[in-house]
Chains A and B, each alone.
Chain A
Amino acid sequence: MSIPEKLSYTKEHEWVHLADGVATVGITAFAAESLGDVVFVQLPSVGETITAGEVCGEIESTKSVSELFAPAGGTVTEVNETTVDSPEIVNSDPYDKGWLFRVRTDTVPELLDATAYAALIQED
């Protein structure tokens, strides 16, 4: 299971890449594989204010629905429309082309590093 070193992670199986106060968010390969084929992605809107730890979207696979949590609070600056039109990209490329949204955040959220996340999914 791929867990890139350069990213940070949440217990909700999302990854975060922080650069210049903007957090790029996606779901991990582990999450994508657990869900099965993703068929629907509902993302927050650009300009929307989201609160860390709260639900800000949904990911549906054929068999299940799971909520998308905001790993960091702030204003959504960009969403990846490609995942809305072609949700399968979340499965095929969760860490790159399958990113979900970007949020401008003032507060640096508490996140797991790759090692800690690897340990977390080991327990699951």
Chain B
Amino acid sequence: MKTPLHETHAALGASFTDFAGWEMPVRYSSELAEHRAVRETAGLFDLSHMGEIELTGPGAAAALDYALVGRLSAVKVGRARYTMMCDADGGVLDDLVVYRLDEERYLVVANAGNAAVVARELVTRAREFETEVTDRSAETALIAVQGPQSAAVVGAVADADLTELKYYAGVPATVAGHRLLLARTGYTGEDGFELFVAADAAPEVWRVLTEAGEPHGLLPAGLACRDTLRLEAGMPLYGNELGRELTPFHANLGRVVKLDKPGDFVGRAALEKVGEPDRVLVGLRGSGRRAPRYGYRVLHGDAVVGEVTSGALSPTLGHPVAMAYVPPELREPGTSLAVDIRGRVEPVEVVALPFYQR
């Protein structure tokens, strides 16, 4: 599949990669330069592969309280919440950002690879509620502007007061004559914005943002740097740190599970019984330049105690960083572990997440 911005990326000379069935830009020039731009100035991302599912009607809030682990009925209009969808045994089906657009209108943003599952589950789980579930993924493009200069870039083209737009909030706005949802959210560890816009308006909104970004050093940024940015920020990626065989508690994200909310929700019974998980997500810091990577074994002495879920030579910090699942007794920062990097055992140290904070 191709996003509405595919031709734009091709004209910019992007290299493409398959991501969850989507042909996505992995980099335009250098992923390190793109990474640096997001940390120091601003980067422009196409995230149109992500899924957008709308719930409307008087029962929308109650339906989401039942379908997801969070208490979405408590979210104020104009605000967003990071949450998850679990299955009945507590396994994570996806991590989501949910926007409350109105009293009776929500937008659920799902990962590309899980969008179909999330849409299908929302339909099933909302059946008993007075709400309509509509998959808006195909008609919706998503463009992100991330980085310390993002407010200057977006502020130059959007008719919204950004000083009033808080982190994890979204407002209707107009850019180049196109109505869109402007949210202050992201996946990079920087200040940033995400613009949900009609698919056919995406190329023009991209162009206008590119022009506004030029004096600020904005670069188009691909999925390669998106991954290193979110890793440095300690943010989980579904399929790496999150999956059906893991609960939110494993990933240190138990805070999103609102066991104290009234009423039942899918996964409640299982999640109430989890207790201390058998393995937990930790940050690892290496030395030198060889990075632990997905699937590499984590060692404690001679014993294999876990597995790396993501890792890279941190472009910002200059040393290897990784996330891994290990037994809870090895979670304390300062714990000495090692990673088998293609046959070479390299020492690593457990460190607090995130690796990088703006």
Contact = CB atoms under 8 A, between A and B. Distances in A.
Contacts of A60: 289-291, 313
A32 to B, nearest CB: 11
B30 A91 contact: yes
Interface in A61-108: 62-63, 65, 87-88, 91
B227 interface: yes
A62 B26 contact: no
A89 to B, nearest CB: 13
Given A33-B15, A60-B313, A65 B31 contact: no
B4 to A, nearest CB: 25
Interface size grouping (class) on chain A: 10 to 19
Given A33-B15, A63-B31, A91-B30, A39 B289 contact: yes
B330 to A, nearest CB: 26
Interface in B19-58: 26-27, 30-32
B199 to A, nearest CB: 28
B290 A37 contact: no
Nearest to A34: B15
A36 B224 contact: yes
A62 B32 contact: yes
B358 interface: no
Given A37-B32, A40-B289, A62 B315 contact: yes
B112 interface: no
Contacts of A36: 15, 26-27, 30-31, 224
Contacts of B289: 39-40, 60, 87
Most buried by A among B15, B32, B227, B293: B32
Nearest to A63: B224
Contacts of A37: 30-32
Contacts of B273: none
A65 B26 contact: no
Most buried by B among A33, A36, A65, A91: A36
Interface of B: 15, 26-27, 30-32, 224, 227-228, 289-291, 293, 312-313, 315, 342
Given A36-B31, A40-B313, A87-B289, 9 more contacts: A36-B15, A36-B26, A37-B30, A60-B289, A62-B224, A62-B228, A62-B312, A62-B315, A63-B227
9 contacts: A33-B15, A36-B26, A36-B30, A36-B224, A60-B289, A60-B291, A60-B313, A63-B224, A63-B312
